[in-house]
Amino acid sequence: MIMTNIPGLIVVVPLLSAVIVALMPSGGVAWVLTLLATIATFALTVINATTGDGATVSYALGGWPPPWGIEFISDGASRLMALIISSLSVASTLYANVLIEKEIHEKDQARVYGAWLLTIGGLLGLVMTGDAFNLFVFLEISSLASVTLVAMGAGVDRRALIAGYNYLVIGAIGATFYVIGVGFCYAVTGTLNMADLAVRLPGATAAPVFVGLAFMVAGIMVKAAAFPVHMWLPAAYGYAPSAVSSLLAAIATKASIYVLARVVFTIFGGLPDVTDLLLNWVILPLSVMAMFAGTILAIYEHDLKKLLAQSSIAQIGYITLAFAIGTTSSISAGFIHMANHAMIKGGLFMAVGALMVTIGKRVTMSSIEGLGRAMPWTCSAMLVCGLSLIGLPLTAGFISKIYLVLATLDAGMNVITGLILLSSALSVLYLWKIVEVMWMRPYKGKALAENILIYGPLWLVAIANIVFGIYAKPIVDLADAAARAITGGAL
Amino acid sequence: MFDFIASHWNYLIVVVLMLIGLYIVMSRQNLVKKLVGLSIFQTALFLFYITLGRIDGGTAPIINPDVDYVYSNPLPHVLILTAIVVGVATTALGLALTLRINDAFGSIEEDEILAAKAEDGLIEEKKS
């Protein structure tokens, strides 16, 4: 009973528990239930990824067979994404307890956890669904819930409200663009099922199909915060409550980038001429610009949360770049970096959040002076994640970079390889600036107490960065399976 | 030309409404007006789908084996029902945020809010 319904349960468990959690009388009870729900979801995604022979499983919702009913797809790509989302949400939930207690008013806490689970459930639905319109619904569930979470930062900083508002309006325009694109494809094929669309689109009238692809990709790029439509992201992650920043930075944009890959490689997989044009002339140049724009903005940023958000834009650039190259090895490198960047950025945002609640003000370059001595646990975990972001050997970030570089060399794109290395070298600048201020200067303030409930989960993520930097095989294997699944073995 | 306009009347309205909506979102300073623009933009999308499902002379899609008639495709209507729910939720959340912004900043005009926001930044720099 449970085994056959796992692809559905992965989405249903967090969505249903969101309702129950939101009705809880106190934040503490709500947190325990949220943690249980995320652990259960994680267990389900692990079972989903390890059982079976690696073949694609189609799950018909409500027993209506596809292409008429809505279908959930469990293939290499959605298995990996579901694992990334559910594992990082367990870590973020563990970490959230103390932070939400400190940053959010007692009477709102239970409902914040409700929105928290809705975000996670929405993102999981996004990666599991095999229906182009159903995808839009999950996209909006997750983004409305995450807008609420971002705006809850208003208790600490009123600017969170503006960040939430802009995120909502820009996000809604993006989602509407996506649905317009789906409408064009539906008009010429009469189907909404992704696999069915992939079969029918090559034979359909060309013009509406091109317009549909353009609208869908433009809309998703907004949601994925790809350059140049990333403007909502630094403010949203910068002013959100610390726990929320760590959750969203780890998983939210990743799911949207995955959708981009689904649309380009699965739905439009039968039209390689058109998608090559899009990848080579639109996504590739924009990704390169994102790599540099994000890194340079991060170098000049004074506020640490915003600095990390700017660096996320550059990292999203690496992932979309890997997809834009479009070979199996580069798509696989993109998936590897998605998994690793989720761990890196999740960890870094957790560390900055820990600093923020301990020093009691916004974390800027001047307020972290000498903190390495005052808060050794938090700051050393942050150092590990930071080194992983640069891509130092023995960290997960190194694995991403090496696969990405090898994939570009394989594809004969030496200039791109050079640009990746240059942008990585530039990212050393902003991280070195943090390390220097944090560790090399004397600490002048009063003694600070660290809380194991905060730095425990943070170290969990930091250790994962090291473990997967040394023993990268599981992620690489899953990413290879993901790349093969998403291209349908066409490459 | 005239035939084209006459036969694509609905689609032209969709394009015009969509552009009006987007223009309002981008050009207005008032947060409520921005949401109005967003709603117009989304309404254009609804009209687009509904038009897709319509057939000339089509009637309600109730199958009657005795009578042979043309009926409209009901699926776009169902999809749009979902999209309308999403649109209402978006507008509601946007208005709720606008209320809170008005409480926190004392204004819903973007330029005034941005001025207040810049002040927050200055206060912060002095503190740190």
Break chain B into its structural domains and give their ranges. Answer: 2-127
pLDDT value, residue A489 = 56
Helix (H, G, I), strand (E, B) or coil at B59: strand
Q: Does the structure show a pLDDT above 90 at A35?
A: yes
pLDDT value, residue B126 = 63
User: pLDDT tens digits, residue range B24-42?
Assistant: 999 988 999 999 999 999 9
pLDDT value, residue A134 = 93
- If you average pLDDT over every residue of chain A, what do you get? 90
Residue A379 β-bridge partners: none
Per-residue pLDDT band for A330 (boundaries 50, 70, 90) equals: very high
Per-residue pLDDT band for A361 (boundaries 50, 70, 90) equals: confident
Is A32 or B72 the better-scoring residue by pLDDT?
A: A32
pLDDT value, residue B91 = 95
Is B8 or A389 the better-scoring residue by pLDDT?
A: A389
Which residue numbers of B have CB closer than 8 Å to A's CBs?
22, 25, 31, 34-35, 38, 41-42, 45, 48-49, 52, 76, 79, 82-83, 86, 89-90, 93-94, 97-98, 100-101, 104-105, 113, 117, 120, 124, 127-128
Per-residue pLDDT band for B1 (boundaries 50, 70, 90) equals: confident
Q: What number is the average pLDDT over the span A263-285?
A: 89
Q: What number is the average pLDDT over the span B3-7?
A: 81
List the single range of A55-64, A116-125, A292-301, A326-335 with lowest mean pLDDT: A55-64
pLDDT value, residue A412 = 85
C-alpha to C-alpha distances, A359 to A232, A244, A454, nearest whole angstrom: 27, 19, 14
What stretches of A177-227 adopt beta strand conformation (E)? none
Per-residue pLDDT band for A491 (boundaries 50, 70, 90) equals: very low
User: pLDDT tens digits, residue range A463-488?
Assistant: 999 999 999 898 999 999 899 888 87
Shortest distance between the Cα of B57 and any Cα of chain A, in A, equals 19
- CATH 1.10.287.3510 assigned to domain B2-127? The reply is yes
pLDDT value, residue A260 = 93
Share of chain A above pLDDT 90, in %: 59
| Best residue in A176, A182, A365, A368 for a mutation probing chain B (most B CBs within 10 Å) | A176
Q: Which two tokens stand for residue A318?
A: 């690496």
Q: Does the structure show a pLDDT above 60 at A490?
A: no
Q: Check A162 against B86: CB less than 8 A apart.
A: no
User: pLDDT tens digits, residue range A121-178?
Assistant: 999 999 999 999 999 999 999 999 999 999 998 888 888 999 999 999 999 999 999 9
Q: Does the structure show a pLDDT above 60 at B128?
A: no
Q: Tokens 């003000």 sit at which residue?
A: A361
Q: Does the structure show a pLDDT above 60 at A324?
A: yes
pLDDT value, residue A411 = 87
* Gyration radius from chain A CA atoms: 21
Q: Which member of B25, B35, B52 has the closest CB to residue A186?
A: B52
Burial of B103 (0-12, 13-18, 19+ CB in 10 A): exposed
Q: What number is the average pLDDT over the span A215-219?
A: 94
Q: Are A404 and A424 in contact (CB under 8 A)?
A: no
Task: Say if A364 is an interface residue toward chain B (CB within 8 Å).
Answer: yes
- If you average pLDDT over every residue of chain B, what do you get? 87
Per-residue pLDDT band for A209 (boundaries 50, 70, 90) equals: very high
The answer to whether the pTM exceeds 0.90 is yes
Residue B83: its chain A contacts at CB < 8 A?
Answer: 136, 179
Torsion angle of C-alpha atoms A466, A467, A471, A474, degrees rounded to 10 = -120
Q: Which member of B52, B76, B97 has the closest CB to residue A165?
A: B97
Q: Check B104 against A186: CB less than 8 A apart.
A: no
Q: For chain A, what is the largest distance between any 2 Cα atoms, rounded to a whole number of angstroms? A: 70
Residue A51 amino acid letter: T
User: pLDDT tens digits, residue range A445-457?
Assistant: 777 888 888 889 9
Q: Searching chain A, which residue's CA lies closest to the CA of residue B49?
A: A183
pLDDT value, residue A323 = 93
Q: Which member of B86, B101, B117 has the closest CB to residue A137?
A: B86
**H helix count then E strand count, chain B:** 5, 0
| Best residue in A138, A161, A369 for a mutation probing chain B (most B CBs within 10 Å) | A161
| Best residue in A170, A173, A232 for a mutation probing chain B (most B CBs within 10 Å) | A173
Burial of A394 (0-12, 13-18, 19+ CB in 10 A): middle
Helix (H, G, I), strand (E, B) or coil at A74: strand
Q: Does the structure show a pLDDT above 50 at A375?
A: yes
> Cα separation of A220 and A74, whole Å?
21
Continuous H helices in A360-472: 371-374, 376-390, 396-410, 414-439, 452-470
Per-residue pLDDT band for B124 (boundaries 50, 70, 90) equals: low
Per-residue pLDDT band for B4 (boundaries 50, 70, 90) equals: confident
User: pLDDT tens digits, residue range A236-254?
Assistant: 999 999 999 999 999 998 9
